[in-house]
Each structure stands twice: as C-alpha cells, then as structure tokens.
Amino acid sequence: MTKELKGEHVLVMTLAFFGVTVAVNVMFTIYAIGTFSGEDVSKPYVRGLAYNRTLEARAAQTALGWRATIEAVREKGGAAISAHIEDRHGQVKSALIVEA
C-alpha cells in the first residue's frame, strides 16, 4: 500500500523545512545578541572622547625622535629583557623609568 505524494504533502514538508530553519536562525541570533555586547574595548565612548589626547601623546613621542630596541633572551633560570634607547642624535639614554 503506497501513498501518493500530493501537492499538499510537498507544501507541508517545504513549510516545515523552512520553519525549522528560521526557528534555528532566530535561536542563534538571540543567543549571539545575548552573549556579545558589541564592544571591543571597555568604555568605548569615553576612550573615543580621549582619542585626541592619545594622538597628541603619540605626536609628542614622535617629536622626541627616540629609537628603542628591546631584546628578550630566555635562560635556564628565566628570561632577561633589555632595552636600548637612543635620542635623535644617537646618545644613549640612561636612568629612565620604565612603566609596564
């Protein structure tokens, strides 16, 4: 006993397929929006307002003309990090305070 495949059956199967697809997409979208705020950095508005100060600080640093080379060497007991800093005339800078 074989049932005939009618247009109604094809319509129901097609609607069911797309209904499941849309339901899964809605579920994924709700989950994605709920778990990601869209912010790449904390306090983006405040950081955006302070961006001109960041640009001024970069320009001041560039105006100094300093060049820095940093080297890290791994040893058995740990690692050694050294920084060599010169001004625009090639004079080595010493007694600098480094903040990290």
Domain of residue 17, residue span? 7-36
Q: What is the pLDDT of residue 97?
A: 74
> Would residue 45 count as lying in a domain?
no
- pLDDT over 90 (residue 42): no
Give the length of the chain.
100
Q: What is the pTM of this model?
A: 0.40
> Would residue 46 count as lying in a domain?
no
pLDDT range class, residue 98, cuts 50, 70, 90: low
What DSSP string describes 39-92?
-SSSSHHHHHHTHHHHHHHHHHHHHHT-EEEEEEEEETTEEEEEEEEE-TTSPB
> Would residue 82 count as lying in a domain?
yes
Average pLDDT over residues 40-61: 88
> Would residue 42 count as lying in a domain?
no
Q: How many domains does the chain have?
A: 2
> Would residue 85 count as lying in a domain?
yes
